[in-house]
Structure formats: C-alpha cells, structure tokens
Amino acid sequence: MSTYEFPDLSPMLRPRSVAVIGAVPELHRAGGRPIPFSIAGGFQGALYAVNPRRTEIDGRPCYASLADLPETPDLAVITVRDSLASEALRDCARQKVPAVVMFTAGFREAGEAGAILEQELIEIAEAHGIVLCGPNCIGVVNRHTGLMASFASSLQIGELPPGPVGFVSQSGMFVSLAIVEQVERRLGVGTLVSVGNEAGIEIADVIAHYAKDPEIKVIASYMEGARDGRKLSHALAMARAAGKRVVILKVGRSKESARAAQSHTGSLAGDYRVYRSTFAANGVIEAEGLEEFFDLIEAAVHVPAVAPASDAPPRIAVFGNSGGLGVLVADKVRQSGLALAEFSEATQGALREHLPPFIHPVNPVDLALQHLEAPHVLPRYLDALLADPGVEGILAIFGMYRPKTLEFAHAILDARANSSKPFVFACPHTSAEFTNCLSDGGVPVFGTPERAIRALRSLFRRPATGGVAPQLSPAARERLHGLVASHAGRTTLSEGEGMQLIEALEIPVGRIALAEDSDAAVRIAAGAGGPAVLKVESRDLPHKTEAGAVALGLEGADRVREAHDRILAAARMHRPDAAIDGVAVHRMVPESRELLLGVRHDPAFGPVALVGAGGTAAEVLDDVALMPAPVTDKQAEDMIRSLRTFPLLNGARSSTPSDVRAAAAALSALSTLVEAFPQIAEIEVNPLFVAAEGDGVVAGDVLAILNPDVPASR
C-alpha cells in the first residue's frame, strides 16, 4: 500500500496569531464573528482585523491589508465574497501565511463557473504550500486554545466546557449541531473543523492530525465522500493505532443522495459498500442517523471499547422494571447484532437467592417494582451478572423511574467499578439527576431502549483484520506481464485469453481446451472424467447462453458431437459476423455452489475486490461484499462470510459445506492482479464453482476489460 503525507495542521488549529480578512463590526455577519467569539473563548494569541474600508472595529485597530500587520499571522480567516476570495488567498501567499480558513461560498458546489474559481484556489494553495481549509465552510474551533475561527451561531449558546472530541465535517450545519449536542450531553467541546469543499485539506488530513493530538480521545466525522479512499483508510489506521475511537456518519450512500452531495460540497461519493468494509477493517463505529451519531460519540467518550468474546453476536444481560420493555428489548437486541446471554447456574442461583420468588431468573430479568425500593440488594445479583462468563455487556432499562435518592445509581457504579464489561442504561422519562449521576460515572443513559442498544453494540470492537497484503510471485508476474503485453491496445479479451490470466494466478479453471472440430471436442470431452460443457469461444459473444452457444451436462460421444454442431450453428445464426475461435470444452463441477468474484474500479478507492452470490442473484439481492484490493486470504474469507447467502455456501440444511477457504484464496489472488496490472480495468470470474470442502474451486467463466490507454509496461 502507498504511504501518504499528511500536512501539519498546527498553524490552523494552534495558531499564535489570527487575521480575519473582511472583518466587520456586525455580529450577525460571518466576518463579524471570529474575533469576538475568540475573545469570548479566551484565545490568548493576537487577533487582527483586516478590512480596507475600516480603521477600527470594536475599539481595536483594523488594518487595510495583510501587509500592514505587525507580524505574519499563523492563520488567516477569509470571509470576503466569492469574487474577492482568490485575490485574498494570493495576498496570504505573498505574505507567507501558513494556514487559511475560507468561509466564502460559491465555488464547486455552485456549478461550473464556481469550479473554475475553486481550481484557482487549489493551485494557489498548492504552489505556496498553504494549509487551506474550505472554501464553503463554517470554520474551525479549538476549545483547548480558545480559537473560534468560525461563524457557527451555536458558539453563542452559553458556556462551552472543553471536551475530548475531535470533530470534522463536510457540512457546516453538523459542526453547529455538534456544538449544541456535545454541550447538552455534557461531553464538552474539543476541536471542530469544517472542511467544506476540501479544496485544500480533506477529512483524512484532519483525522490524521487528531490521531496525534493528545487532547483528542474520540474522533467524529460527518462524511459525504473522500477524494482518496485509500488515504482515508490510512488515516483511520493511524487513529486506531493511536488508540483513538472513530465515529463516522457516512451519507451519500445511494445514487440519489450522492447526487445531493454533489450539489452540496461537490464531493464524489464512490460505492458506499467499500466505505463500509474499510470502516469495519479499521474499527470505525458507524452511525446510521443524526441522533445515533451523537449517541455513539457519547458512548465512545464514556466507555472504553472491548473485544467481543467470539465471532458470534456479543451476549448481553438485560434487567429492568418492565416486562413490556424487556420484550421490546429482546427484539431489538437481536436486530442490532447482539444476543441475549444464557445465564450460568451461578448467576441463576444468585438471582434466585437475592430476588423475590416471583421474579424469574431469566434474561431479560424483570425486577419487581417493589424491589427497586431496596437498592442495597442490587450489588448482590449485579456482581453475579457481571461475573458471568457468558455475559459480555449489560443493558439496564428503567421506564418512568424517578428515584427519590441516588442510592440505586451509586450501587450500580460501585458494582461497575470492578468490571470492564460495557454497561449502558435506557431510561425513558427519568430524572436528569439520575441520568447525570450514571453518565458521569461511565454508565451512559439514553432515553429509549433502541438508542441504548445501538450504543451498547458500538462498544464491542473486533480486532483489526490487517495482515500483509498478498503479492504476485515473480514467476506469476512474469507470465501475466507477457499475457497483458500481448493484448496491448485491445479493450476485451476472449474467454480463452481471460482463462490464461486466471490460470497464471493459480486459480483452477474449468476450461480444458479449445476444440477445432467435433472430433476434437469428443476426444477432449472423453478426458474430462465426467460430464462436459461445451461453449462457443468468441470475444464477439459476451452473452453465450442467450445466443444458444452453450451446452451443459454432455456425456457420450454422440451427444458431444451433436451439441458441438448445434451450438456453433446457433452462434452463427445469432451473430453472423462474430469471429469464432472454436468450441471450448469445460469440465462440469458436480454439486457445486456458485460465487461471483471480481475486481472493479471505484472512483474513491481505485481497484476493489468484489464477491457475491453467483449468477443474477448477486445484483438482485444486493448480496455483494466489496473491499479495497488487494485483500488477504483472511479478509477475503470475511467478505465471503459476510454475504447474506453465506449459509447456502456453508452447508445450510443437509447439503455439505463448500470449500470456502479455496474460494477465499482465489479472491485474494484475483485481487492482486489489477493492482499489479493497471491495464486491466475490470475482471470478473462468474461463476466460480465452489466444490465441497477440500475439493477446491473452478473458474467457470471470465470476463476481463482492458484499459487501452494504460501502457503495458510495469
């Protein structure tokens, strides 16, 4: 994998001095905010107002231009209108200002003319090594230094206690919402960066910075898309390695919403499924909506992540004051990828011993109302729940519970102190006092069971599935190089040529040989050791079944001969001008399952490996896994196991399990091909026949598309 250089964001996030270009005295205008907001925030560095039409603002001098300042500021905030913005940036370049935040809108998001203007900004920033944030952004905030280089109205809501969250967003609104949400949830305000159109720095740069920032514990991002998915992946890996939690709300998942993102910040979305697998591989916590986004941030701030005990859904214990809420929770636990724990004998014994006889010692535990009046009993069975090896986490759900004292909350925190198992509360309509006591003690409290369950789920994090990326062997590389070079300038390969690529990757192919006439076909089929398949070979017939150019399950010389002549005639009738190489003889793979393997090109991530259920089902069921190529055998196996139809492959019902390991090895091998040979734009093996465990796989058909513009050299 390539390595990336991430810019140093200190001048932007920890400037000693800030100039506001286009400063005005009106607080309701964007240019009127950064200086008074930063003063209110306690920023200790120098703040300079720049505006040729004024000499002072609010009692401090206003300079006509950057050149007039007593020093070169670390950070310039450009708030002028679109037609003046590039000149202001040029001015910063002349004065060697290292970092610029640009509020100004009207660029790429506004259409073609704006895109041209934005290209100018990009070129100026690149030429002078300026760290440029924006344009079309709401600015940056660093509560730890008091820097408020932003016009977000929510900075005026009142006291903003400092907090451990590093926030980065393509949407300015989400920065505003984050400030309010984090304050209301008592998480404090840490650092916030609105990257807007990303003409300069992008989300990945900010994540990489947060990974190294000791004041940031949790990284959160609203993301429409990444220009370079692999760079994003690299930044996420850095964050993970630094022990930081990352929560992402990825929007623009569908075609329609990607179009909306295009007209919002002009971001190219790429295939969401590649983001999803990239996030999973890097331990990112993904949010599904606005409230859940902030819920998961809250949970990440309060509770350390744990590894689940196994590949199965983490098992949790549920207890509360309502049977009805317990039943609802039991449904939601399952839907969210958790499971209800089966209590051990010891736990059941403890519950029987310490709870009244009419309370069943089963999960969810429905405590009697009366019992809540005796919170001193709680630790006796809570210790048992926390000690049960079959219990990986705890959800307590108390509806309408407004205790007169906090004794119950303290009893929970005491028990919790001896365990690292995640513990989350759901309390519809409780008191703020109860909620705050628990949250401050590391047990987050949410207002509905659904929210609490999703938060609890987010606290289980699987270990990274990294590993050394597979590489082509020098011999395979040599052989492939010859094959690809010989097809220079072409855009498709015949099936036989495609099969040679596949064989060079040491993936077994079903095709035995090409028969020149019916006698040859009979002879080759006789050596197949079972029923044979005949296919007309021609690069002009991509859809052979529709053309009648395929015959299956042939046994005996007569049937092979008859089929040979029949499919050739059908192919010629279907397309008289097709160049036909002959009839290929394949072996049939008995009792096999079918997969689709491929490598495609993603606008954000480049080559991505793909696996899906065989045939047309993959597309119709959207049962496809995608991951940036190349993938390791382990990653390939995880991809196959993530398919909804995996149980069919794994011997659901009475059939025998298929050779998943061989299929994974084939996918991994295929995924190395395109990175090594960018001439291959896309390749698809469909079907890959997967035989019974231990019996391997066979590539049934292959379709490769070449990029004629890429030279054949390495």
| Footprint of a second copy on 309-338 (CB under 8 A) | 321-334
With respect to a second copy, which residue has the nearer C-beta, 29 or 714? 29
The smaller minimum CB distance to a second copy, of residues 58 and 331, is found at 331
DSSP characters for 186-212?
T--EEEEEE-TT-SS--HHHHHHHHHH
To the nearest whole angstrom, how small is the minimum distance from the Cβ of residue 549 to a second copy?
14
The site for a second copy, by CB under 8 A, has a size of 80
Question: Which one among 22, 146, 200, 252 touches a second copy, defined by CB under 8 A?
Answer: 252
| Shortest reach from residue 487's CB to a second copy, in Å | 27
550: left (phi over 0), alpha (psi -120 to 50) or beta: beta
Q: How would you class 153 by CB atoms within 10 Å of its CB: exposed for 0-12, middle for 13-18, buried for 19 or more?
A: middle
Q: Which of residues 21-60 bind a second copy (CB under 8 A)?
A: none
Under rule CB under 8 A, residue 358 binds a second copy: yes
Which x/- pattern over 437-476 shows residues binding a second copy (rule: CB under 8 A)?
----------xxxx--------------------------
**Residue 510 within binding range of a second copy, rule CB under 8 A:** no
**Cis amide leading into 687 (omega within 30):** yes
Binding part of the chain for a second copy, among 176-184, 484-492, 630-638, 689-697 by CB under 8 A, reads: 176-184
Find the binding residues for a second copy in span 544-563 (CB under 8 A). 546, 553
578, burial (CB in 10 Å: exposed 0-12, middle 13-18, buried 19+): middle
Q: For residue 440, give the nearest of 421, 459, 418, 412 by alpha carbon.
A: 412
Bridge pairing between strands 245-250 and 189-194: unpaired
Count other Cβ atoms within 10 Å, centred on residue 412: 23
Distance CA 265, CA 594 (A): 41
Q: Which amino acid is at 714?
A: R
Task: Encode 450-479: b = buried (16+ Cβ within 10 Å), e = exposed.
Answer: bbbbbbbbbbbbeeebeeebbebeeebbeb
- Nearest Cα neighbor of 100 from 21, 154, 189, 197 is 21
Q: How far is the CB of 592 from a second copy (least distance, A)?
A: 15
Q: Contact with a second copy (CB under 8 A): which of 1, 67, 241, 260?
A: 260
- Lay out the site mask for a second copy across 619-638 (x = CB under 8 A, - = otherwise): xxx-----------------
Cα 511 to Cα 67: distance, rounded to the nearest angstrom: 74
Rule CB under 8 A: is residue 399 a binding residue for a second copy?
yes
Segment 282 to 311, residues that bind a second copy, using CB under 8 A: 288-291
Site for a second copy in 203-222 (CB under 8 A): 222
Stretch that binds a second copy, among 185-193, 201-209, 354-362, 630-638 (CB under 8 A): 354-362
Complex with a second copy: residue 62 or 121, whichever CB lies closer? 121
How many Å apart are CA 228 and CA 246, to the nearest integer?
Answer: 18
Give the range of 254-262, 308-316, 580-588, 701-709 binding a second copy by CB under 8 A: 254-262
Q: Residue 190, Cβ neighbours under 10 Å: how many? A: 26
Query: Which amino acid belongs to residue 579?
Result: A
Region from 72-80, 94-102, 252-260, 501-509 binding a second copy, contact rule CB under 8 A: 252-260
360 binds a second copy (CB under 8 A): yes
Position 174 contacts a second copy (CB under 8 A): yes
> Should residue 671 be labelled a site residue for a second copy when binding is judged by CB under 8 A?
no
What count of residues does the chain have?
A: 714
Nearer to a second copy, 113 or 464 (CB): 113
**Contacting a second copy (CB under 8 A), which of 81, 94, 634, 644?**
644
Query: Which one-letter DSSP state was computed for residue 338?
Result: -
Residues 569-598 binding a second copy (CB under 8 A) are none
Q: Which is nearer to a second copy, 104 or 671 (CB)?
A: 104
Amino acid at 231: K
Nearer to a second copy, 373 or 516 (CB): 373
Contact 145, 197 (CB under 8 A): no
- Residue 251 in contact with a second copy, rule: CB under 8 A: yes
In whole angstroms, how close is the CB of 233 to a second copy at the nearest point?
Answer: 22
Ordered DSSP codes for 636-650: HHHHHHTSTTHHHHT
**Parallel, antiparallel or unpaired: strands 624-628 and 606-613:** antiparallel
Rule CB under 8 A: which of 148-167 touch a second copy? 153-154
In the complex with a second copy, which residue's Cβ is closer, 289 or 482? Answer: 289
Note whether 400 binds a second copy by CB under 8 A.
Answer: yes
357-374 b/e (C-beta count within 10 Å ≥ 16 → b): eebebebbbbbeeeebee
Is 417 a binder of a second copy (CB under 8 A)? no
Q: Is residue 523 a contact residue for a second copy (CB under 8 A)?
A: no
CB atoms under 10 Å from CB of 177, counted, come to 19
> Which stretch in 116-124, 562-570, 617-625, 677-685 sits in contact with a second copy by CB under 8 A?
617-625
DSSP string computed for 390-416? T--EEEEE-TT---SSSHHHHHHHHHH
Residue of 53, 376, 404, 653 that binds a second copy (CB under 8 A): 653
Of the ranges 14-22, 62-70, 185-193, 258-266, which one interacts with a second copy (CB under 8 A)?
258-266
Stretches 239-247, 262-270, 275-283, 679-687: which one binds a second copy (CB under 8 A)? Answer: 262-270
Among 44-52, 563-571, 614-622, 706-714, the segment contacting a second copy (CB under 8 A): 614-622
Cα dihedral 462, 467, 471, 473 sign: negative
Considering only residues 98 to 117 of the shown chain, the ones binding a second copy according to CB under 8 A are: 105-106, 109-111
Q: Is residue 647 at the binding interface for a second copy, with CB under 8 A as the rule?
A: yes
Candidates 34-42, 490-498, 639-647, 668-676: pick the segment binding a second copy (CB under 8 A): 639-647
Q: How is 33-97 classified by DSSP, letter by letter?
A: SHHHHHHHHT--SEEEEE-TT-SEETTEEEESSGGGSSS--SEEEE-S-HHHHHHHHHHHHHTT-
Which three-class secondary structure state does DSSP give residue 699? strand
The token pair that represents 447 in the structure block? 């207002």
Task: By CB under 8 A, name the one of 68, 652, 709, 711 that touches a second copy.
Answer: 652
Q: Closest approach of Cβ 161 to a second copy, in Å?
A: 18
Exactly one of 11, 73, 172, 700 binds a second copy (CB under 8 A); that residue is: 172
- Token output for 530: 């079972």
